[in-house]
Amino acid sequence: MKRILIIANNDVGLYKFRKELITELTKENEVYLLLPYGKNVDKLIALGAKFIDCPYLERRGTNPFKDMRLMLYFRKNIRKLKPDVILTYTIKPNIYGGYAARLCKIPYIVNVTGLGTALENEGILQKITSLMYKVALKDAKKIFFQNQANQDFMLDRKIIDKSNSYEIIPGSGVNLQEYQVKPYPKQEQVKFAFVSRIMKQKGIDQYLAAAKYIKKKYPETEFHIYGFCEEEYQGVLNKLHAEKVINYHGMVQDMQSVYQKISCLIHPTYYPEGMSNVLLEACASGRPIITTDRPGCREIVDDGVNGFVVAEQNSKDLTDKIEQFLHLNLSQREKMGVAARKKVEREFDRQIIVSKYLTEIQNIR
């Protein structure tokens, strides 16, 4: 039996994408979770894990004094707990959890869930973050990347090198039992959906521009939006909803019912993704996808087979691909959905990731 500490920045992602791993780990190990309290913590405890609150973790803060306090808090809990291995997810737990693990000489496994804007965008912040990551990853037992581009980025900038142990895994994968194939809608009317936090980098502007154009030309087509809305877009969504250009549903918990209703998922993101979970879920549900040609998205779509690829920040290209989809007959759309399911079964089953972690943890002595 090992004592395992998992450090993460929020409860939502940990429960939604890693509950299968936690369930397996708690069978024969003592598992502790160090993260800020949230509504899913009780569900994680019900899986058999123990919870340690981390009130100092601010996901987007850049105050160095607060980040130092966070690292010291990590170190304090690691020294007290004396885990056999530490698992970290997302930038701050990876960096400051990595520092604390190194200081305490505890083996640690890192998951780079995406670069984030601090690393993707050129400038002084990128240089500082790169250096911090290099120090944090130096002694990691294993570094898991969710796509090839993220791994290449860190190799090219010498954040990691051949002395590190690293590997690409298929994102967080998708639970194929939880997201089962839904019968494809038989009506000719096409319903598109945007499922994401509503923010500029997720491609909401391109989606709205395409919706305006398509609704004029194909008025029976529906454009749905699901997700938390950042303030700057609330007025725009309310206006377009009132004009019946879009249907905005806000936050929805039951995503299976969403995928059941729609004909195709549109994800025009240009955000630094690790691997897009909404694309995986939609494909697992047997729905075609339209998404951008960028890391974390391009791996999931085979252009013309289970969906279409569009250029980043290109409303015209997105509109063209939507029209292309509309010109398919019902049988062709359904065939795309079948191909989507087969692809995730073949390449993105979450059990692949669970097995990788179990093997790495077992190898730590």
What string of H, E and C letters represents the secondary structure of the chain?
CCEEEEECCCHHHHHHHHHHHHHHHHHHCEEEEEECCCCCHHHHHHCCCEEEECCCCCCCCCCHHHHHHHHHHHHHHHHHHCCCEEEEECHHHHHHHHHHHHHHCCCEEEEECCCCHHHHCCCHHHHHHHHHHHHHHCCCCEEEECCHHHHHHHHHCCCCCCCCCEEECCCCCECCCCCCCCCCCCCCCCEEEEECCECHHHCHHHHHHHHHHHHHHCCCCEEEEECCECHHHHHHHHHHHHCCCCEECCCCCCHHHHHHHCCEEEECCCCCCCCCHHHHHHHHCCCCEEEECCCCCCCCCCECCCEEEECCCCHHHHHHHHHHHHCCCHHHHHHHHHHHHHHHHHHCEHHHHHHHHHHHHHHCC
pLDDT score of 116 more than 90: no
pLDDT score of 117 more than 80: no
Q: Where residue 65 falls among pLDDT bands split at 50, 70, 90?
A: confident
Residue spans per domain, the chain:
3-173+349-363, 191-347
Q: Where residue 61 falls among pLDDT bands split at 50, 70, 90?
A: low
φ/ψ (deg, to 5) at 187: -75, 155
Name every residue whose Cβ is closer than 8 Å to that of residue 247 and which is 6 or more positions away in sequence: 222, 223, 224, 225, 241
Average pLDDT over residues 46-66: 87
pLDDT above 90 as % of the chain: 88
Cross-strand partners of 109: 87, 142
User: Could you tell me which CATH number the domain at 191-347 has?
Assistant: 3.40.50.2000
pLDDT score of 44 more than 80: yes
The pLDDT score that the predictor gives to residue 27 is 96
The pLDDT score that the predictor gives to residue 325 is 98
By DSSP bridging, strand 30-35 and strand 3-7 are: parallel
Structure confidence by residue, pLDDT tens digits, 318-359? 999 999 999 999 999 999 999 999 999 999 999 999 999 999
Q: Where residue 119 falls among pLDDT bands split at 50, 70, 90?
A: confident
- Top CATH class, 3-173+349-363: alpha beta
Structure confidence by residue, pLDDT tens digits, 191-226? 999 999 999 999 999 999 999 999 999 999 999 999
Q: Compute the distance between CA of residue 50 and CA of residue 44 in angstroms, rounded to an integer.
A: 8
pLDDT score of 264 more than 70: yes
103 burial (CB, 10 Å; 0-12 / 13-18 / 19+) is middle
* Residue-wise burial string across 63-82, b where 16 or more C-beta atoms lie within 10 A, e elsewhere: eeeebeebbebbbebbeebe
Q: Where residue 283 falls among pLDDT bands split at 50, 70, 90?
A: very high
The pLDDT score that the predictor gives to residue 74 is 97
Strand order across the 247-248 sheet: 247-248, 222-226, 191-195, 264-267, 289-292, 307-310
Of the candidate ranges 56-65, 268-277, 280-289, 319-328, the one whose mean pLDDT is the lowest: 56-65
Are 3-173+349-363 and 191-347 in the same CATH fold?
A: yes
Q: Compute the distance between CA of residue 298 and CA of residue 301 in angstroms, rounded to an integer.
A: 5
Q: Compute the distance between CA of residue 87 and CA of residue 234 in angstroms, rounded to an integer.
A: 37
- Give the closest residue to 233 by CA, choosing from 259, 204, 274: 204
Q: Where residue 94 falls among pLDDT bands split at 50, 70, 90?
A: very high
Mean pLDDT for all residues in the chain: 95
Cross-strand partners of 142: 109
